[in-house]
Amino acid sequence: MEDDLMTEIGARRDEIADLTRDLVRIPTSNPPGLNYREICDFLGGRLERRGFDVEHVRAEGTPADSDAHPRWNMIARRDGAGPGDCVHFNSHHDVVEVGHGWTVDPFGGEIRDGRVHGRGACDMKGGLAASVVAVEAFCDMVPDFRGAVEISATADEETGGRGGVAHLAENGWFSPERVQHVIIPEPLNKDRICLGHRGVWWAEIETKGRIAHGSMPFLGDCAVRHMGAVLEEMERTLFPLLASKRTRMPVVPDGARSSTLNINAIHGGEPEAENPVEPQAPCVPDRCRIVIDRRFLIEEDISAVKREVADMMERVGASRPGFEYEIRDISEVLPNMTERDSPVAVAVAGAIRRILGKPPDYVVSPGTYDQKHIDRIGRLKNCVAYGPGILELAHQPDEWVGIDDMADSAKVMALTLLDILGPEGKSR
């Protein structure tokens, strides 16, 4: 049965490429969130014709949802011949903006050298296509499978997933009674299993001063100079502290195996002029703000992460009379990591060994993806990311996905299904 299924996927190699091209040709740029209904209809129609129950869910009331840009999600389900687990493949259908530097049409789906090119080919329409064809082939070849398979195409992953997986999870679509195994075909390379991601804390730090005429700055109090002292303290104590923290999480690339902090933005004083020779009024800035993006490790507690920054501000204040500041939370996501011996990770690992002839590498993503919502809101731990596509190509110009890589990963996905849901499978 295993051999027949693999032969069948091999025979559908061109179909995987064609489906990827069709998906790339529907520009689902986010922001603003274009053509979500179109891509859901396209996929839902295909799966409905193949006997799946298809539902379309609009994330009404979520921040980015509007009549101009409705946040549509598609969930397709097919039940097997008997009771058993449900394996769910979740892909986001949105893509990031095109940007500059392309040598091919970003929405043309052109094939060159065995690769499908276009915005989203790698992240993650190639993975979506591979999972769709894997599931279809599995249903055709193993009609007496147990349990159920589901495929979802969801909105807004690139902007945090509120209108996508978070909304579905809040409405019970990922509850443990309904779904027991989730695979997210994000582009993490066909021989790697991604177990989770680091945590994130975004915050705004503001230093305060007092406005005065710029010719007599001694009459005011410059908020930008205060921020300068903050940045100096950060260089002196905080960055070395973060670099010294190392995690047992297998984060890639290696630099992300430590805690990190990025300063996303800095602004103080009058608005930046479009044209640099535009005059500004001579004023001492009374506000300066930075936005920080702190990535933290599973060993770190978020309250300790916040306290480190607060302590640093206190140290700055100790040597600056009248130093006033505020720290405002913007958002936070806790780190998560599925264990290697979780059922879905074990099944995917076994399939990688059989298809690629080598054990998988286990990785953790430096940034977050929709697993956070499945874990925190859906309360489902048994979730990994696994898909074709080379991580470093995501969001780049001339993004591509290899057709052989998609076919190999589709084989791994189908074999995973056979392992869990097949007549001899592990499903309860």
Min. distance of Cβ 158 from Zn ion in angstroms?
7
Closer by beta carbon to Zn ion, 30 or else 427: 30
Q: Which residue is nearest to Zn ion (CB)?
A: 123
CA 231 → CA 238, 269, 286, 296, distances in Å? 10, 17, 17, 20
Closer by beta carbon to Zn ion, 191 or else 399: 399
Min. distance of Cβ 101 from Zn ion in angstroms?
20
Q: Which two tokens stand for residue 286?
A: 């009374």
CA 427 → CA 135, 405, 418, 420, distances in Å? 16, 28, 10, 5
Q: Is 261 in the site for Zn ion (CB under 5 A)?
A: no
Closer by beta carbon to Zn ion, 389 or else 425: 389
Closer by beta carbon to Zn ion, 206 or else 405: 405
Q: Which two tokens stand for residue 72?
A: 């549509």
Q: What is the total count of residues that contact Zn ion (CB under 5 A)?
A: 3
Window 298-317: residues binding Zn ion (CB under 5 A): none
Closer by beta carbon to Zn ion, 185 or else 268: 185
Min. distance of Cβ 49 from Zn ion in angstroms?
27
Min. distance of Cβ 66 from Zn ion in angstroms?
23
Burial class (CB in 10 A: 0-12, 13-18, 19+), 41: middle
Sequence letter at residue 311: D
Q: Which helix (H) or strand (E) holds 140?
A: helix 126-141
Min. distance of Cβ 127 from Zn ion in angstroms?
8
Closer by beta carbon to Zn ion, 136 or else 186: 186
Letters for 113-152 (x = contact with Zn ion by CB under 5 A, - = none) are: ----------xx----------------------------
Query: Nearest 5°: phi and psi at 355?
Result: -80, -40
Closer by beta carbon to Zn ion, 123 or else 300: 123
**Residue 370 and residue 154 in contact, taking contact as beta carbons nearer than 8 Å:** yes
Window 163-192: residues binding Zn ion (CB under 5 A): 186
C-alpha to C-alpha distance for 415 and 235, rounded to whole angstroms: 50
Q: What are the start-end ranges of the E strands in 110-198?
A: 111-112, 115-117, 146-154, 181-184, 192-197
DSSP assignment of 254-303, as one string?
GGGGB-EEEEEEEEESSPPPSSTTS----B---EEEEEEEEEE-TTS-HH
Min. distance of Cβ 96 from Zn ion in angstroms?
9
Min. distance of Cβ 370 from Zn ion in angstroms?
8
List residues binding Zn ion (CB under 5 A).
123-124, 186
